[in-house]
């Protein structure tokens, strides 16, 4: 074997292991011996590493490095819903081919290239490992504009919960809504939620 598991990065892909000189056969042997945990097809984590706080999101981030966690998955991370997402929801640029990921279950949204990274932020999915995620404001706007697909109760509930936060920035929601061309419906929803 080329080197022991502790010489591998904490989380890595098969391609990374190969680039480091580890043969695929040896990689799967380390997995079978319990030295590595396979988070998703082709994504591994050293068994002795601290457990990730968001293992499914971490796995999908390694599978789709250009993706951004969005919609219900982002709402859950930002504590804007009590709903547990049935699948990891990620956004990719519209011209990219959607990845085929069976585990963890994944829903892919295709967003316009020019606003794709609008509201981009990072969140720790494991110690010293951050993943790309839309910030709370962008996420609220996204679930409002996709409410026909995600459900109006979810969208309006997220908006109301966001407005109760001490760090709420309704003006930032409107700025993002304008850039995503949904200013008027989001403005109406904000006015209604603020009056409640």
3-state secondary structure the chain: CCCCHHHCCCEEEHHHHHHCCCCHHHHHHHHHCCCEEEEECCEEEECCCCCCCCHHHHHHHHHCCCCEECHHHHHHHCCCCCCCCCCEEEEEECCCCCCCCCCCCEEEEEECHHHCCCCEEEEEEECCEEEEEECHHHHHHHHHHCHHHHCHHHHHHHHHHHHCCCCCCHHHHHHHHHHCCCHHHHHHHHHHHHHC
User: 106-154 pLDDT, tens per residue?
Assistant: 999 999 999 999 999 999 999 999 999 999 999 999 999 999 999 899 9
Q: What pLDDT shows up at residue 20?
A: 86
Which pLDDT does position 23 carry in this prediction?
87
Neighbour count for residue 65 (Cβ, 10 Å) = 9
Determine the Cα–Cα distance for residues 62 and 101; give it in Å rounded to an integer: 12
* CB contact at 8 A, 162 and 155: no
Output the pLDDT for position 3. Answer: 57
pTM: 0.88
Res 105: pLDDT: 93
Per-run averaged pLDDT (10 residues), the chain, 196 residues: 68 90 88 92 92 94 95 96 93 91 93 94 94 97 93 92 93 95 91 78
């Amino acid at each position: 074997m080329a080197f022991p598991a502790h010489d591998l990065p904490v989380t890595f892909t098969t391609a990374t292991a190969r680039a480091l000189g580890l043969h695929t056969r040896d990689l799967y042997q380390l997995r079978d011996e319990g030295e590595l945990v396979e988070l998703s097809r082709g994504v591994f984590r050293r068994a002795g590493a601290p457990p990730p706080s968001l293992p499914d999101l971490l796995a999908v981030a390694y599978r789709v490095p250009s993706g951004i966690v969005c919609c219900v998955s982002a709402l859950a991370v930002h504590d804007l819903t009590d709903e547990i997402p049935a699948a990891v929801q990620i956004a990719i640029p519209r011209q990219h081919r959607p990845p085929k990921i069976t585990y963890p279950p994944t829903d892919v949204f295709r967003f316009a290239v020019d606003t794709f990274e609008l509201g981009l932020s990072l969140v720790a999915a494991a110690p010293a490992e951050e993943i790309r995620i839309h910030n709370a404001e962008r996420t609220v706007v996204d679930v409002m504009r996709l409410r026909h697909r995600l459900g109006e109760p979810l969208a309006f509930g997220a908006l109301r919960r966001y407005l109760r936060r001490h760090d709420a920035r309704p003006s930032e929601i409107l700025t993002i809504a304008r850039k995503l061309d949904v200013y008027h419906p989001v403005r109406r929803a904000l006015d209604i939620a603020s009056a409640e």
